[in-house]
Amino acid sequence: MSTQKTASANEPNGLPDEKQAVSVLFVCLGNICRSPMAEAVFHSLTKSDPRIAKIDSAGTGAYHEGDPPDPRTMDALRANNIDDYDHAARKIKHSDFAEFDYILAMDKDNLSDLRSLKTRLAKKNPSMERAMGNVMLFGDFGGSKGEQVVDPYYGAHNGFTVAHEQMVRFSKGFISQILLEGRNQAP
Ligand code: 4NP
């Protein structure tokens, strides 16, 4: 699910123009477990926030392209009162780097893959570099630098509960550091 909102300069939303609203892309490997969960949780916490322009998720791999989220992700969301989430897995696209202000990786492998891709794209198209999104570890917003969301795909159901707690904590950190304080770089 890609959620798009438009903030208008004429709306009493506290934003001078829509450029200040940020777009956020969550990225994991398969785009069926962690990043869809991050997207759904972040969306639930920012639903009516005009400072968010667009939210989506993607995978660095294409293994599950077109698939719905893992049932254990949906269970964890439903257990936390999110029952309207709908998503089809997709692989990250080159255009995502221009379309999203923040590209947030779930673990350090995802981060490294995204940074390599961004570097390759910037080399091919140097004029695009300045407009490319910030690639960061989502867990850097959790209170201590470098916290990763461990891939729960092959693990116990409990891994999805742990991941959910992280998604809430990291989302709240992002909201307070980027949206409230207006920082636009890593915490
Ligand atoms: P995700 O989990 O990256 O959190 O979506 C995974 C899902 C599937 C696979 C790996 C990780 N897989 O290898 O199929």
**What is the average pLDDT across 127-152?**
94
φ/ψ of 59, rounded to 5, equals -115, 155
- For the chain, the average pLDDT equals 89
Secondary-structure percent of the chain, ordered helix, strand, coil, rounded to 5: 40, 15, 45
Q: According to DSSP H, which parts of the chain are helical?
A: 34-46, 71-78, 96-99, 108-124, 158-174
Q: Which residues line ligand 1 (CB under 6 A)?
A: 28-34, 63-64, 151, 153
| DSSP letter for each residue of 143-170 | SSTT------TTS-THHHHHHHHHHHHH
Give yes or no: 28 in active site: yes
Answer yes or no: are the C-beta atoms of 46 and 3 closer than 8 Å: no
**What is the average pLDDT across 149-172?**
95
Answer yes or no: are the C-beta atoms of 23 and 3 closer than 8 Å: no
- Ligand 1: which of 64, 65, 149, 166 to mutate, most ligand atoms within 8 Å of CB? 64
The active-site residue out of 56, 70, 96, 151 is 151
Pick 178 or 15 by higher pLDDT: 178
φ/ψ of 46, rounded to 5, equals -125, 15
Tokens encoding 156: 């116990």
Task: Please give the DSSP secondary-structure letter assigned to residue 181.
Answer: S
What pTM was estimated for this model as a whole? Answer: 0.90
In this prediction, residue 185 has a pLDDT band, given cuts at 50, 70 and 90, of low
Instruction: List pLDDT tens digits, range 111-120.
Output: 999 999 999 9
Give yes or no: 169 in active site: no
Instruction: List pLDDT tens digits, range 45-56.
Output: 999 899 999 999
Q: Which residues pair with 4 in a beta bridge?
A: 54
**pLDDT reported for residue 9:** 34
**What is the average pLDDT across 14-18?**
42
